[in-house]
Amino acid sequence: MKRALSSRAVFIILSFITAVLLFGSMVLQNVYFKADQVDSSLFISPTTFSRKPNSNVTLQVKANIQGAAVIAGAQFYLEYDQSLLEFSETTTTPPFTSLQSVADEGVVAWTLLPSTEFGTTVQLSGEVTFGSVAFKTIAEGQATVRFRQSDSSITAIDSSRSPALYNAIVSIQDSSGIISERNGEAAKPTETLTKSAEVLPTFSAQKVLRNEPVVSDVAAKLLVSLKYVGGISVRFGTTSDLPLTIEASELSQHHLIDFSALEPETRYYYQLIVYSEDKKTSLKTQTKSFVTSSAGGRIADQKLTSVAVLPEVATKTAKVVIAARDDQGKVSSEQLTVVPVSGSAQVIEQRALNGITVATVSSTITTNQSVDLSVRAGEREVAQAKLTFDPSIADHTEPMYKFPGPIQITPNNAALLFLVAAGMILFGMLFIRLARSK
Amino acid sequence: MKYFFGTIVIALIAFGYYSFYYQPLAASSPTATPVLTLSEIPNDICPEKIWLLVAAVNDPKPLVDRSVPVRECRTVLLKNYLPASSGEYAVFMKLPTSLASSVVVSTPLTRSITVPIRLGDVTKDNVIDAADEKLVTDALYSIGGVADITGDGKVSVDDVVTVRINKGVGADRPDSKPWGKIE
């Protein structure tokens, strides 16, 4: 009996189907994971101000958006001291329009939507200005304007999840100012600081393993690694009373904290407060400081460019944070790229904002490996970094989503290994067959 | 026979790939029984019941037209409400403040299906329009109530956004009757 299809034809058809399945799934997986939630750091600019009583102060509400976010609306609750400030008005910046702003008992509730000409959503990335809030100063003192984290939201859409709406805010930073008749004098930074030696051991098992700032002229990123998963808030400022606060809403073992709207060539003091998931216990670190760089640098210098990796030992992904400076220590405007030079890893995302470049490096290899990274300005290497991928360590690096969907697909290392092995066998066999073919 | 071994190996690869990779992804249902999964419902919303209407395709007379229980806030055992005989049926579902959704299924039901639920019909007329948006906007910053679409206890930008992105008209009943107020 003659067969309808020869063995060779069956072999080729099956090979083709298998190859399509293998490569199709890989492409599909990449497409899927590109549609992800985007983190945003919300802040008020300027972070510090000084005014005389009976003058106006206008504060801009901004966010550093760490990717292309599809934003459908925003809501900010701003708390202020009524005895020092009087709310005047809110003003939006395109593409947003104000839906409603209400001031009551020291809180401004403000809701913004994309303007009608933009439709129901706008796609934004980088530093975004939502608008400004104007106050009138009414008495002397130190006034702080801060976001109420529980009610503030940048409502974005991630269509790959259900429900698609999520709050993109992962950290908030407030603003503080001196209101004094001696305008300017009282607001000068206190150069001497009484260093706090206390590290309150109430959060007994928790430890801050790393606390490293990477600084540009107007921004800084603080790389923090904890022994265990925890939340972080940072008190900071140019004065010893650390009047400003950054609240990071995620619980994680590794935190990349954004400082925004900083002044160049200024010393900032900061203290970390690490808290447990239930916020009942906390750990305060010693007060440390960093100095922001000068602006206007040109060619990135190898010695003065700083690079740091978080975490240094990662399961799947790590962030590489770079602040390029020229030979004068000024922030370099050169565009940097991160290139893996050894090991199996890819740079899946890279963004530069306010003088700091952040690259996300990912590995899909299921065994331990070290990856050497080269930071380049064009063809010239300006810095090197090293990181280790160890898939076996407990994965506490992934942020906890505030709106978890019922179905969460995560990269399956076993499946990937299977695919790679299957692909190698397949093409090995094809090669042998072709070599033997007459 | 020349390619027999290679064919077997590749068939095994394809089978293993399907077994180990695709099936775990497809098995999103908590049970092996085919279910109707309601998606796009905010995490704080847990509907205990949903209005279900089942009618044969091309026959407007409803076979099922009643409120049915929702398991674990998200799934309906659809098989319980479909005829055992083979055929094609239109399944309509509606929550009090959602647009009516519909899907056509074939019986016997062999696989789970997912249907997005579009919330925001606070005026309960099976249309999400400017009237719904105004009602929610007017209730902004208040506590609870029908305008709290996301069920988090407060009327916020999330509720306004939900109305805006879900604007549209729900599916009509096959018998052309009004949906009426579903509680």
Tokens for A367? 């065994």
Beta bridge partners of A385: A373
Does any domain span residue A406? no
* DSSP helix/strand/coil, B95: coil
Q: In this predicted structure, what is the pLDDT of residue A314?
A: 87
Q: In this predicted structure, what is the pLDDT of residue B137?
A: 95
Q: Which residues of A touch B11 (CB under 8 A)?
A: 14
Instruction: Quote the percentage of chain A above a pLDDT of 70.
Output: 83
Q: In this predicted structure, what is the pLDDT of residue B2?
A: 57
Instruction: Quote the percentage of chain A above a pLDDT of 90.
Output: 24
Averaged pLDDT for residues A83-97: 93
Q: Which residues of A touch B39 (CB under 8 A)?
A: 162-163, 406
For A360-391, the pLDDT digits (tens) are 998 877 788 888 899 988 888 888 888 888 88
Q: In this predicted structure, what is the pLDDT of residue A433?
A: 75
Note whether B160 contacts A73, CB cutoff 8 Å.
Answer: yes
- Which of A11, A21, A418 is closest, CB to CB, to B7? A11
Contact A188, A177 (CB under 8 A): no
Averaged pLDDT for residues B129-147: 93
Q: How far is CA A290 from the centre of its chain?
A: 19
Q: In this predicted structure, what is the pLDDT of residue A290?
A: 92
Nearest CA among A116, A162, A299 for reference residue B28: A162
CA closest to B75 among chain A residues: A406
Note whether B13 contacts A162, CB cutoff 8 Å.
Answer: no
Q: In this predicted structure, what is the pLDDT of residue A303?
A: 82
Question: Which has more confidence, B138 or A171?
Answer: B138
Averaged pLDDT for residues B118-139: 94
My answer on whether B60 and B140 are in the same domain is: yes
Does any domain span residue B95? yes
Rounded Cα gap, residues A405 and A382, in angstroms: 42
Q: In this predicted structure, what is the pLDDT of residue A423?
A: 79
What letter does residue A149 receive in the DSSP assignment? G
- Give me the amino acid identity at B180: G
State whether residue A151 sits within 8 Å of chain B by CB. Answer: yes
Q: In this predicted structure, what is the pLDDT of residue A342?
A: 84
Mutate to test the interface with A, among B157, B158, B163 (most CBs of A within 10 A): B157
For A45-71, the pLDDT digits (tens) are 898 888 999 999 999 999 988 888 899
Model confidence at B95, in pLDDT bands (50, 70, 90)?
Answer: very high
pLDDT for residue A160 is more than 90: no
Rounded Cα gap, residues A90 and B168, in angstroms: 32
For A300-344, the pLDDT digits (tens) are 888 888 899 999 888 888 999 999 988 888 888 888 889 888 888
Tokens for B98? 């959602």
pLDDT for residue A408 is more than 60: no
Domain residues for the domain of B40 are: 36-169
My answer on whether B70 and B112 are in the same domain is: yes
Averaged pLDDT for residues B131-136: 95
Averaged pLDDT for residues B143-171: 93
Note whether A25 contacts B10, CB cutoff 8 Å.
Answer: no
- Which of B3, B9, B39 is closest, CB to CB, to A10? B3
Model confidence at A410, in pLDDT bands (50, 70, 90)?
Answer: very low
My answer on whether A280 and A145 are in the same domain is: yes
My answer on whether A16 and A51 are in the same domain is: no
Model confidence at A438, in pLDDT bands (50, 70, 90)?
Answer: low
Contact A268, A236 (CB under 8 A): yes
* DSSP assignment of A213-266: EEE-SS-EEEEEEEEEEEEEEEEEESSTT--EEEEEEEEEEEEEEEE-SPPTT-
Q: Which residues of B touch A109 (CB under 8 A)?
A: 141
Note whether A113 contacts B161, CB cutoff 8 Å.
Answer: yes
Contact A45, A60 (CB under 8 A): yes
For residue A432, count other CB atoms closer than 10 A to its CB: 11
Contact B88, B108 (CB under 8 A): no
Does any domain span residue B110? yes
Q: In this predicted structure, what is the pLDDT of residue A14?
A: 74
Domain residues for the domain of A433 are: 1-34+420-438
* DSSP helix/strand/coil, A33: helix
For A196-222, the pLDDT digits (tens) are 434 444 444 678 888 899 999 999 999
Does any domain span residue A408? no
pLDDT for residue B80 is more than 70: yes
Does any domain span residue B175? no
For A272-298, the pLDDT digits (tens) are 988 877 776 678 888 889 999 988 888
Contact A268, A259 (CB under 8 A): yes
Number of domains in chain B: 2
My answer on whether A15 and A156 are in the same domain is: no
Question: Which has more confidence, B17 or A77?
Answer: A77
Strands annotated E in A80-205: 85-92, 96-104, 107-114, 122-137, 141-147, 153-157, 165-167, 169-173, 175-179
Mean per-residue pLDDT of chain B: 85
Mean per-residue pLDDT of chain A: 81
Q: In this predicted structure, what is the pLDDT of residue B3?
A: 65
Helices (H) and strands (E) in chain A, counts: 2, 28
Q: How far is CA A298 from the centre of its chain?
A: 26
Least reliable range by pLDDT among A135-139, A431-435, B34-38: A431-435
For residue B84, count other CB atoms closer than 10 A to its CB: 8
Number of domains in chain A: 3
Strands annotated E in A14-55: 40-45, 48-51
Mutate to test the interface with B, among A111, A148, A425 (most CBs of B within 10 A): A111
117-146 of A, contacting B, C-beta below 8 A: 120-121
Q: Cα–Cα–Cα angle for A28, A29, A30, nearest 5°?
A: 90
- Residue A315 sits in a domain of what CATH number? 2.60.40.10
- Residue B142 sits in a domain of what CATH number? 2.60.40.4130
Nearest CA among B143, B146, B144 for reference residue B132: B146
